[in-house]
């Protein structure tokens, strides 16, 4: 089966299962989305959604957040993991947004990537979900599924992102990255599917006899 055929089936299957793709991180503004995505690194969305109401009750915009002590931010975001780094990043990027961008989140992936604590994946999510720009954020979950489904043989997230962008229409990227996450959580989990159990894995590789082993550097 050609990669394009697998991609066509996957796209149709995910669209049927998840016609609506609400952003799983609770937020009201672009700034709040940026902070929530930053906190979600190596942390579940559910935990982030329990933490952000407490954080935003203290400061829900960069003008106020820049005046909150890093130690106070740390005490709130500690359940999300990597709290020392994340709390410093939240404080520092808030100051930068105020001083350089009039308190607004810039709609530019390159500028976002220059902010403390904001990597390519976080910046991609923000430009996609806040500003509607075509992006294909790839986290470890999407990376795993892209390999299982034969959409990439890359050993890096960056390589997988390039491969996924080639095989799916650009207009679908923003929605599709959420659809893949939803499907992975429900049907193709790290332990619940080894590349032979879920509908997509079975369709893409009906003759696969052994558990799929991810390509690693």
Q: Say whether 194 is catalytic.
A: no
How far is the C-alpha of 194 from the C-alpha of 127, rounded, in Å? Answer: 32
User: Which one of the listed residues 85, 139, 155, 199 is annotated catalytic?
Assistant: 139
User: Which one of the listed residues 60, 86, 121, 163 is annotated catalytic?
Assistant: 121
Q: Say whether 121 is catalytic.
A: yes
Tokens of residue 101, six digits: 């961008």
Residue by residue, DSSP assigns 109-138 as HHHHHTSTT--HHHHHHHHHHHH-------
Angle CA 129–111–54, to nearest 5: 55
**Farthest CA pair distance, the chain:** 59
How far is the C-alpha of 66 from the C-alpha of 64, rounded, in Å? Answer: 6
Residues assigned a catalytic role? 121, 139
């Amino acid at each position: 089966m050609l990669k394009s055929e697998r991609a066509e089936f996957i796209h149709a299957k995910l669209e049927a299962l998840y016609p609506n793709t609400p952003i799983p991180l609770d937020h009201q503004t672009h700034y709040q989305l940026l902070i929530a995505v930053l906190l979600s690194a190596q942390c579940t969305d559910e935990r982030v959604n329990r933490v952000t109401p407490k954080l935003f009750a203290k400061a829900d915009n960069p003008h106020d957040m820049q005046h909150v002590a890093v130690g106070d931010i740390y005490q709130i975001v500690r359940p999300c993991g990597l709290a020392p780094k994340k709390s410093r990043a939240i404080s520092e990027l808030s100051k930068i947004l105020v001083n350089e961008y009039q308190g607004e989140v810039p709609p530019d992936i390159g500028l976002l990537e220059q902010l403390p604590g904001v990597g390519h994946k976080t910046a991609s999510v923000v430009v996609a979900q806040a500003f509607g720009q075509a992006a294909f954020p790839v986290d470890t979950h999407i990376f795993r599924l892209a390999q299982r489904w034969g959409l990439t043989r890359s050993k890096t997230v960056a390589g997988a992102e390039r491969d996924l962008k080639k095989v799916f229409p650009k207009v679908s990227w923003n929605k599709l990255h959420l659809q893949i996450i939803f499907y992975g959580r429900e049907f193709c989990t790290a332990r619940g599917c080894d590349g032979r159990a879920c509908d997509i894995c079975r369709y893409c590789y009906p003759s696969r006899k052994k558990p799929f082993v991810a390509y690693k550097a």
